[in-house]
A and B are shown apart, each in its own frame.
Chain A
Amino acid sequence: MAAILHEASVFCVDFHLKNLLGVTEDKEDNVLITCRGVVKRYHVKERRQLQCWTAKSWHLFTSAAVYNPASDKITAIIGNTSLIQWRHDTEDIEKAKKLNFETSIHQLFMSDGTLYILFSTGQVEEVSVAMKSRKEMKPGFLSAHDTIRHAELIKGTKYLLLVVESERNVLRLYKIQMDNSSSAPVMNCPLSLDDARLTGVCVLSSGKLFTLWSTGDLYTFDLENDYADMLPGQKHAEEGSVVAAKNAKMLELSPSHIVIIGLDRQDEGGIMVLRDIRFGISISVRKLKMYHNPPLAWVVSQGVVVAEGASLSWIPFTVQESNLATVFATKVFETQGSASEVCHSWVKNRNQNESQEVPAAAVKNVYCNKTNALSKVIGELDRGSLSESLLASEVIKCLIDKKNLKLLNEAVNVFTDIPESGLIDVLMYYLQCKDMHFAGIIDVPQLLLEIEPLDKDGDKIVCPFSSEKAYFINGILQKPFTDVELLKVLSKIPFDNAVMLIQYLHYLVASGEAVVASSGSQTLSLCQAGEWLGLLLDINYHQLVISSEITVHRLLLSCFDSTTIMCKFLEHLMDTGPLMQCVLKGNPLPLCSHTSKPYFLERLVLTKKGSGE
């Protein structure tokens, strides 16, 4: 994608939001954060404060401080009428000279290296010029009842745009030429839309005015070419991500991209929407923790600074020239309504022409080989494209909620990649269910539920579950797993159930139900039984040790006997292996074999043709 809003990072937290006046650019990629009582100099990328200038409580700042590179000074307004300038090395700004004006000052602007001052009357002057006549009143075109709601420079030009609210709540748009000695605006026209309220304004460097209205409509107006009576211009798009009825802030990021900050329509908090003007669509969205009315946001070097909660966040952005491919690149698969991820075009073609085969690779996927009932459950989930493990996890949760044992068993069997947490969830559910819940679901081979003990004096080895329940549990136990992952979730099984499972595994090993090589049909292999037994003993080690129940100790002793017998059997088997191989190949037995020894003598004979060997 050609443009994107990156991850936000908090860089300034020590201020109160209601005191925040503005954030402007300073030299060397730093920013000036102006609050009523203090101006702070921050390095955004390093997220640290560099300097701080405090104003006296009776001389509070009323407009955001501006850095003037030409004079290398910071300029700010104190008490609406005093202008103060200081250098970066100034420690106490109270010692700096204050220049008092007769007329109230609204804001300071920097344009092409020149500092301008906007008075509340609408008069705009260069600071150097204004200082010469500061004892004089600055009569502008605005009356005392008019309020400047928005003032913005048109970048690269000498024009200033004002949105002014009059006494009757009527909005007017003024375009002022800043180097003009006369204060009369070059453009003066009403700004309104039927049944709508203006909630956001932004003027681009290209001279286009963008207005957002409470209906959600985004209008565009060319300040240079369009007739003034056409305001607010043409409808550009409809903004659906933000609540347009609430105030929004619009900022230009590039000639082709703007960002809108407003109240999130879908969720609590604010939202930041990056819009591509050329194609009229939103291309990147970043959620904000809080929404402020009106939103407080400024564009500084390669990032947007947003007031979010009680902190300032810096959200870097990348904006590049967009084209059709970059804008429409991220369309997701539409799997809904289709049995699988088969391309719609293939499905269509197949209907039209039966002879055309769908590629096997396209048909075989996680949605295949499922019964209709299970497919229906997957369809109801309606989660779009998911990996198999995520899908299995979702399906298992759903089926446990539905208490559908038959489908659970099918899901466990048909999904190859089930996360360990999912396996344990199903296992716990099975263990909680009673034997009678499993009766009659599937025809299963009956187990011999009691076998004679290995030791004559010992207790009988009993299967703790019915044949049906054991069949279902076998389905879980024979699934592949990663032991380190399983250990993380195995502790979820209550101790009583864990003991029951140990008893069952012991029964499988002792009774021979766990076979050496599993055929795969719900039959556990010895290896799998051993692994599960080891993990259960591991995770419940302390509880097993401190358990005072005599049955638990007997069970463990019996387990130990079984495993000891198995180990001896395997040792003998290992000895037999090489002999069996010799018998099969018909090789004579070796007279002596030293090769496992750390030292032995070998005979090495080099023969050659005709040497008589």
Chain B
Amino acid sequence: MAEYKLHNVRFYDFEPKSIQCMSYEEKSCRLALSRADGSIEIWNCQDKPFLQKVLPGSEESSVEGVAWCGERLFSAGLQGFILEHDLVTSGILSRTSVTGGPTWCLAASPSKTKLAAGTEEGYLNIFKVVDSGITYEQTLKRQEGRILHLSWHSSEDYIVTGSINCACLWSLKNERMILCSIPPSRHQEIIVWCVGILDDMTIVSGDSRGRICFWNGKLGVITEVIQTHKADILSLVVGADQKTVYVAGVHPLIVRLNRVALEGWEVGKKKRWVIAVSRNVHTHDIRALVLSNSGKLFSGGVDTVLNFSSYSPFKMEISFRAHPPRGSISVAGAASCLLLKQKERLELWRLGSHFPTSEAQPSNFLHLDEDRVKLLEVRSPGGEVIDWCAVSPEAIWIAYIVTNKLRIFQFYPPKVDSKASLRRVRGMSEEIQPSYQAVWLGAAKLASAATKGVIQVLTVSEMETSVERELTLKPGCGVIQMCASSDGNTLVVVDDQNEVTVFNVENGDRLLLPVYSSWVTAVGVDPANQLVVVAYADMMIKEFSLYLRRFTDFSRQVLTEPLPQLVELTTTIRHISFDASNPEQILLHNDDCIIILYKNRDAAGSKAEGKPAKIKRGLHSPDTSNSRSLRTKTADNISIIRRTNQVLHFSHVREDSLISVELNPLQLQDKLPPTFKVKKYGAR
């Protein structure tokens, strides 16, 4: 029997922002989505979708459009610039100004060689994508009113734009425009929020009346109007087969329109657009829709949830809740402390404690003999947004990163005769390069992922910080995530080529793990047994012995393929940790569950005896919602504890302590604006 004290942390005030726009890259199956705080998230959707990287933003920045041009990512916003992002270092590669001020929309041409941007002042800017960035190609004649959305024709000769009271079809060859004007009703202007164009020059527009209009692009006249929503349609996407259009908006309903050939006496052979499917998968305004060539639909909006759905040949809907980016939660195991990153401040908490007594505890909720204590609150000067934070295992050293600048502090915990204090390490060596990730390697060593693809091992003292060693990845590789063993001797790095490199920090030796076809989602190091455990997006888990330099027997015999219990889960593994006192257990978690993997069959219940391991959580649970969530799945090698709340972080702290940082979805709902009200029949 293994008994743990689980620190259930629900006070982390994580406030995800609404999704603004999205773009999908077919070749690498990556989805870029921007949020209201200006950050851009890169989701890898090759297997199970997972958040691969976050490009940080700020409150002042806005991203109104993102576009992939091959492997390159561009964004535009109200600052009036088109930015090219460095996906390795999260920096900006190029910045190009746009004619006409704030940019409301951005789209790449079908061949990904051109970018079009629509602006507040009604200018349509065309840029050519070149190796060094983008170059100005042409600006079309100014139109009345802001350009809210645009779409390229497959021939790349035409662009359709959406504006106030009209949609416009632009010919790039002769810079001519065909106006598709919507007469305003009752002196109210009609906003064309989104547009699309089919190969046969049929223009599709969604407007503030909740109507989808199909236009004859050659003539500029409406051919069909379908009322699909009760409020503004904010987004539409045209299927690759040209026979499907998905629309959504303020009325949070995803509607699929199909072009069908109605036969028989009714309408002859004419092809018409009809409503085929309506799905209510969001609670609030849907602002962005993206459709892959294989028919996978991604949707997102004000409710901050990324929804992934597929309607044919079978229906599938999965919601991915927003998750704080890596480097937001750091646990100081030895000191039993927790460092939480808010927007522009850090909070260091000492976890509470329970002193066991001889009396049996009838409840599975333990009495807090010492409550949690907020030891420290650090605010970044000038209110800068903190991108990353890390605390050393003894909670003596705290590091955080603001706009690639590393700041290190020494923390003096409160004592009987002195208050807690914090002192910044001012003496930073000039060799220290700009950083975007950092993890502590034991007490006074810090691994910093430099923007130039180098990992610097820094030695930290009260007075200064110097570079002890530089660990290098393969040329051109950038760090996606790092993980250090608790003793600080081993550093595991996952790079953007999906390779896992294990560094010996002492001597700089490196070892490359065998490459697997799926992308790495989490990695962990067991220092006691010299093991590296890697979780992949297809839910495969592999265990590698650093001592033997090969996969362990457990990995070879049991983890030959993804465990069925894991494959059933909707979200990928986010974190891996170990309990040194129970080396046969691997502690994992994803968004919804805490997962315990048993390496020794006998330890978790013999298959031969037919009695798999069970998880017992006391006699009863006073929290009905929790007890409902406590449905455990047991098998020979795995136990899954489902949680009602979203699990943001789960790991071993020390001895018999575990920590689970969770977010109540209702807490998020309270912060969202009111949802669109629809009539409910029979509501007596």
Q: Which residues of A contact B (CB under 8 A)?
A: 1-2, 6-7, 9, 43, 45-47, 302-303, 316, 318, 323, 325-326, 328-330, 416-417, 478, 480-485, 517-518, 520, 525, 527-528, 578, 581, 587-588, 590-609, 611-613
Contacts and interface: CB of A to CB of B under 8 A. Distances in A.
Give the secondary structure class of B's interface. Answer: loop
Given A326-B268, A598-B9, A601-B367, 14 more contacts: A45-B179, A46-B176, A46-B177, A302-B219, A587-B620, A592-B363, A595-B623, A599-B11, A602-B8, A604-B3, A604-B4, A604-B617, A607-B614, A609-B611
Contacts of B626: 595
Nearest to B267: A329
A6 B365 contact: no
B419 interface: no
Interface stretch (B426-434, B437-445, B467-475, B675-683): B675-683
B6 A601 contact: yes
Given A326-B269, A520-B684, A528-B684, A604 B6 contact: yes
B268 A323 contact: yes
B2 interface: yes
Interface stretch (B146-154, B190-198, B204-212, B601-609): B601-609
Contacts of B611: 609
B3 A601 contact: no
B362 interface: yes
A480 B11 CA distance: 40
Interface string B365-392: 1111001100000000000000000000
Contacts of B218: 302
A430 B623 CA distance: 50
B407 interface: no
Contact of A603 (B365, B620, B624, B625): B365
A608 B7 contact: no
Interface in B67-113: none
B620 A590 contact: yes
A603 B366 contact: yes
Contacts of A323: 268-269
Contacts of A417: 681
Contacts of B281: none
Nearest to B639: A606
Q: Which 4 A-B pairs have the closest CB atoms?
A: A590-B622, A325-B268, A595-B623, A598-B11
B364 interface: yes
**Residue from A2, A329, A587 whose CB has the most chain B CB atoms within 10 Å:** A329
A601 B615 contact: no
Contact of A480 (B220, B366, B624, B682): B682
9 contacts: A9-B220, A9-B221, A328-B265, A482-B678, A591-B362, A595-B623, A598-B10, A605-B4, A609-B611
Given A485-B679, A601-B8, A606-B639, A45 B219 contact: yes
Contacts, number: 190
Contacts of A416: 681
B219 A605 contact: no
Interface of B: 1-11, 176-179, 181, 216, 218-223, 264-270, 352, 354, 361-368, 371-372, 596, 603-606, 609, 611, 613-620, 622-626, 639, 658, 677-684
Contacts of B363: 590-592, 603
A480 B683 contact: yes
Given A46-B176, A302-B219, A416-B681, A602 B5 contact: yes
A606 B268 contact: no
Contact of A607 (B5, B221, B616, B619): B616
Nearest to B683: A480
Nearest to B361: A603
Nearest to A597: B10
A398 B176 CA distance: 53
A482 B268 contact: no
A600 B363 CA distance: 13
B144 to A, nearest CB: 12
Contact of A593 (B179, B622, B683): B622
A325 B263 CA distance: 9
Given A478-B684, A604-B4, A1 B614 contact: no
A599 B3 contact: no
A6 B684 CA distance: 46
